[in-house]
Amino acid sequence: MKRILVPAVLAAALATGCAGPTAVRGGPGTENPNLDDAAMSTGLDRKDLEYLLQENVEKLMASRAWAEFHNAPEAPVVAIWPIRNDTTEHIENQLNTLLATLESKMVESGDVAVVSRERQREMAEEVGLQNTNGVYDPATVARLSKQVGARYFLTGKVQAVDERMEGERRVQYTLTMQLIEVDTSLIKFQHTAARTKAIVR
């Protein structure tokens, strides 16, 4: 025991040796194609958001409501409102990216006419709702959607159940999307996709 202590001291001291960090490029076509695959934290990364969005969009486009849009003589006008962040992570920027992707997918489908989000932002600003909770209030959103000529509006929220215990943390995320008819307030489509992130031992 005594003999191994001194070498152990030196070994522990040497273990503190360091190597500097290096910037790398990742993704398809690079030397690190799987760089995006690793989870770096319990936050939502692009891969998680793509998954949550993709599942919701697939369900939306397979829904009865969407079939009606597809067969309608004229594409109905749809307004897309911000996705509410009810999580324990600062993901507003990621949600804005998500919204842009959602907008692109809906425009590309050709089944609906999408109101410019810039126009919606202006409307919200005009009535003093920018950066307030009002842009998530269903009644307010319905009123504003009507003002921009939309027949339907699409909205959503990300929620999280965040728990910690000794040495571990788990966050269960859900993205719920709703398509609501402006005149009747009827929910024409709703789906929830789930994703869990954790730091485990």
Partner 1 sequence: MPLRLVALALALVAGAGCATYSDHTRAARESLARGDFERGEAQLNEMLGVESSRELPVEWGSETALAVLERATVLQAMRDYATSARDFTAAEKELELLDLANDDVGAIGQYLFSDDATRYKAPPTEKLLVNAFNMINYLARGDLQGAAVEARRFTVMRKYLQDYFPGESHAAFGSYLAGFVFEKRGEYDVALRYYDEVLQETDASSLHEPIVRLASKAAYRTPRLESVIGEVPAPEEDPEEGEILVILKTGRVPVKEAARIPIGAALGLASNYVSGDTKVLEYGMFKVVSYPELVPTRQVYTGGTLRVAGSPMPLDFVTDVEAEVLREYELLKPKIVGAALTRMITRAVAAEGARAAGRQQSGALGFLAAALVEGTMVALDKPDTRSWSTLPASVHLARIRVPAGQHEISVDLHGPGGSGRLTRTVDVPAGGFAVADFTSLR
**Footprint on this chain of partner 1 (rule: CB under 8 A):** 1-3, 5-6, 8-9, 12, 15-16, 18, 20-21, 41, 85-90, 92, 131-133, 160, 162-169, 199, 201
Q: Which residues are within 8 A (CB) of 64 and not within 5 positions of it... i.e. 6 or more apart?
A: none
- Written as six digits, the tokens of 83 are 């996705």
Q: How far is the CB of 73 from partner 1 (least distance, A)?
A: 40
Q: How far is the CB of 14 from partner 1 (least distance, A)?
A: 10
Q: How far is the CB of 48 from partner 1 (least distance, A)?
A: 17
Q: Which residues are within 8 A (CB) of 17 and not within 5 positions of it... i.e. 6 or more apart?
A: none
Q: How far is the CB of 2 from partner 1 (least distance, A)?
A: 3
Q: What is the three-class DSSP state of 99?
A: helix
Q: How far is the CB of 129 from partner 1 (least distance, A)?
A: 12
**Cβ(199)–Cβ(171) under 8 Å?**
no
- Report the amino acid identity of residue 126: E
Residue number, 70 or 164, with CB nearest to partner 1: 164
Residue number, 20 or 73, with CB nearest to partner 1: 20
Backbone angles phi, psi at 19, to 5 degrees: -130, 135
Helices assigned H by DSSP within 29-187:
46-61, 64-71, 92-109, 117-126, 138-147
**Distance between CA atoms of 42 and 1, rounded to whole angstroms?**
42
How far from 28 is each of 34, 41, 189, CA to CA, in Å? 8, 22, 34
Residue number, 58 or 86, with CB nearest to partner 1: 86
Residue number, 129 or 179, with CB nearest to partner 1: 129
Residue number, 60 or 171, with CB nearest to partner 1: 171
